[in-house]
Structure 1
Amino acid sequence: MTHNRVIRPDIFSNIPQLVAGISTRHGGVSTQAYQSLNLGVHTDDDPSAISSNLKLFCADLGISPDALARSYQVHGSEIWTSVSPGYESGYDAIMAPEPGVFAGVGIADCCPILLADPKREVAAAIHAGWKGTVAQIVHKTASSMIKGGSNPANILAYIGPCISIEHFEVGDEVAEKFEFKEKRGARWHVDLKATNAAQLQALGISQIEISDYCTVANNDAFYSHRKEQGITGRMLAVIGFQRRG
């Protein structure tokens, strides 16, 4: 189990200009339920601790916190195409269409998906819980990249740590919206990772890395909204291209 502050997806390792990483819960200054690298600005943690944590995380990535584009997430399917850093509200996908802006989404069981086209130097970060997944936010975001000129063969994708099918028990009304599911005893379990991977594959994107980590099973390393009954921190998934020169 990782005790690093940042997980760096292997799939992006050969793209020198690309910055991509997902925080863990290790290596920060927050205490109690938010122990220790809480990056969730809408949690009840001490704001100064969150700010310190963000500086630590961004320092590991080699970027400034001021270069981040983030949004208050609403479990929808709206995309913010951000040409400058900042903080918006109402977006669950953030596209960074040019170098120098780093898209970031917060997570604590929902599925983070990072997309990069190294040919065009366009990147996107997506937050997909079950509602966003059903609304096809990943398909919608990747489609936007393709419409903008990206060849699906050039797009690389990382599906990060989230609640696994083993731990994502849902009611019948949610299960009926999913193709990738299993009946375990009397209850349905749905698979966020497989569902979002299928949305990418439907567009011809085949370069996909899927994290083995589950936020519930690996709660020692990640925050889990479900396991910790809503009182917990947030990880941040960040991606973007550095400016050249």
Structure 2
Amino acid sequence: MTPFETAANLRTIPKVRHGFFGRRGGYSTDDFAGLNVSWSVGDDAEIVERNRDLVKSAIGAGPLVILRQVHSARVETIREPVEASAIEADAIVTATPGLALAILTADCTPILLADPETGIVGAAHAGWRGAVDGIIGNVVSAMERLGADPARILAAYGPTIHAPNYEVGDKFRADFLALHPGGTHHFHVPAGGQAHFDLPGFVEAQLRAAGIASIERVGGCTYAHPDRYFSHRYATHQGTRTGRQIAVIGMTQV
């Protein structure tokens, strides 16, 4: 069985299939050991495809719609299956049942969203750049254009790097505050150290600012648990490579 984590609020929607997967399970080996789902990190492409098949089987959804993520605030609306990585964007929404929207991460924050009344779902990749530039408000607006209501949308965000392990420095803090001057509370500075950023805290604040009341946090810190999750920053500090985990959401057709 391929393990994954789920959100209590999204589990209340009978037709929603969703999951936040980590690195456990899968066929990859060495630096990518476990359930690596990314072609672009140096893993064997056939093994990656086998891992993706495990994901689809585990949650009973598919085909997977996987973006070419570029740390933007761009959202794509889809109505039918598309070739993997053919779309360059960092969030995706659909009203089409049977599609599984997928986000790949290795420290950034995966966000899954659903409107239980309309069946509209969304998924977003919120790294610091995308989050600061408005990816969260943009994905909610794209769902609204399809007919969703932010007051009904249920959202969950998954395993991501947490503030104690996310040192960013003073320039990052200054650049962030130039765009979000009220955001000083998303930083802390350890004695004698550099600024640390609370990415999941900022993500949750942005979800609330977009009008979403039901928000769940799922999973732990990617950096602090390299046995459970892929972490780009942890791998960089260790001088190794790492894979990417996947978060998936879709509505069933029946």
Match 1:195 to one of 197, 202, 224: 202
SS in 2 for 1:22: strand
* Alpha-carbon distance in structure 2 between the residues aligned to 1:69 and 1:212: 23
Shift, 1:212, TM fit: 4.7
Q: Which structure's residues are more often helix, by fraction?
A: 2
Match 1:70 to one of 52, 66, 69: 66
SS in 2 for 1:228: helix
**Worse overlay, 90-99 or 145-154:** 145-154
The unaligned stretches of length 5 or more in structure 2 are 178-182
**Worse overlay, 92-101 or 103-112:** 92-101
The reply to whether residue 48 of structure 1 matches residue 46 of structure 2 is: yes
SS in 1 for 2:202: helix
The reply to whether residue 235 of structure 1 matches residue 231 of structure 2 is: no
User: Which residue in 2 is equivalent to 1:214?
Assistant: 221
Deviations 1:50-103 (A, max 9, x none): 111111111111124xx1111111000111111112222421001122211111
The reply to whether residue 81 of structure 1 matches residue 87 of structure 2 is: no
* Alpha-carbon distance in structure 2 between the residues aligned to 1:148 and 1:48: 36
* Alpha-carbon distance in structure 2 between the residues aligned to 1:95 and 1:212: 23
The unaligned stretches of length 5 or more in structure 1 are none
Q: TM-score, normalised by structure 1?
A: 0.93
How many pairs align?
240
* Alpha-carbon distance in structure 2 between the residues aligned to 1:141 and 1:194: 18
The reply to whether residue 148 of structure 1 matches residue 146 of structure 2 is: yes
The reply to whether residue 19 of structure 1 matches residue 17 of structure 2 is: yes
Deviations 1:195-233 (A, max 9, x none): 111111112211000125000111110000000116101
CA RMSD in angstroms comes to 1.5
Shift, 1:4, TM fit: 5.4
Deviations 1:115-165 (A, max 9, x none): 110111011110011101111101111122224332222100001110001
Aligned 1:95-114 pairs, distance under 5 A: 95-114=93-112
| Structure 1 stretches of 4+ moved >6 Å | none
Residues 85 and 102 in structure 1, CA contact (< 8 A), matched pair in contact too: no
Q: Which amino acid aligns with 2:53?
A: K
Q: TM-score, normalised by structure 2?
A: 0.90
SS in 2 for 1:26: coil
Residues 61 and 98 in structure 2, CA contact (< 8 A), matched pair in contact too: no
